Amino acid sequence: MGVFYIGINDVYVANQARYDNTIAESGDTIQKLIRRFKNDSVLYQVFRIVRGALRARDVRVIYGTDASARYFPVSITPTERAAATATSKKPQGLPQFRNRLHALVDKVEDWGAKAIFVTQRRGDVRYDGNVLRGASDAAIRAQIVLDRINAVTLSVCAKTDALCVDLASEIRFQNGDFSDHVHTTRQGSERVGTFLAKKLAPIFRGH
């Protein structure tokens, strides 16, 4: 089995398509030198780390960046949420995300195993019955985008031999489960682990 806890980072990739493109193998000496430099240069690896940290800071996906995640003053009803989803701009890169999931399914099947996708939810939103509450309007909007990404994941499972665990819809997080709006604390990780253990145990026992 190959288990993929996937989706939330894709919300923050501004141009997802470019991550699916690789430099084609060719006899071009310059391209070969560029590839070799990127693969082997320590300086380039340091540059990538620094660049990644700065990008993570800009979109606030680093640990401890959202102290407001424990408060949820903004709310949206199912009707309002459906309307917001219908009128919001379709997230960029959904087709590429779908293609990546299919590629993962194929790769895992080549290994003689089955892909299991687990959907994700943000730490700065909570469900109060059917009402979605968030730390801010931005948190609500980001969750709506993540909902669309999760829907793509579920649709790929429905059309392939992959299995899906819809953690985003089924789990109920609590205060103290997240250190920011993306990363779980030890308490939150234990909650996710316990949830997945119950869901995956029957699947693994059957194989």
| pLDDT digit string, tens, across residues 31-80 | 666 666 666 666 656 666 665 555 555 544 444 544 444 578 899 998 98
Q: Enter the DSSP assignment of 67.
A: G
Please tell me the predicted confidence (pLDDT) of residue 44. Answer: 59
Please tell me the predicted confidence (pLDDT) of residue 62. Answer: 47
Confirm if 16 and 92 have CB atoms less than 8 A apart: yes
SS3 of residue 179 by DSSP? coil
Low-confidence winner among 85-89, 144-148, 185-189 (lowest mean pLDDT)? 85-89
Low-confidence winner among 28-42, 49-63, 100-114, 144-158 (lowest mean pLDDT)? 49-63
Asked if residue 125 has pLDDT above 60, the reply is yes
State the pairing for strand pair 115-118/163-165.
parallel
Please tell me the predicted confidence (pLDDT) of residue 20. Answer: 52
What do you get for the CA distance between the two ends of the chain, in Å? 9
Q: Which residues of 10-45 are buried (b: 16+ CB within 10 A; e: fewer)?
A: bbbbeebeeeeeeeeeeeeeeeeeeeeeeeeeeeee
Spell out the domains of the chain, with CATH numbers in brackets: 2-205 (3.40.50)
Q: Enter the DSSP assignment of 143.
A: H
Q: Enter the DSSP assignment of 90.
A: P
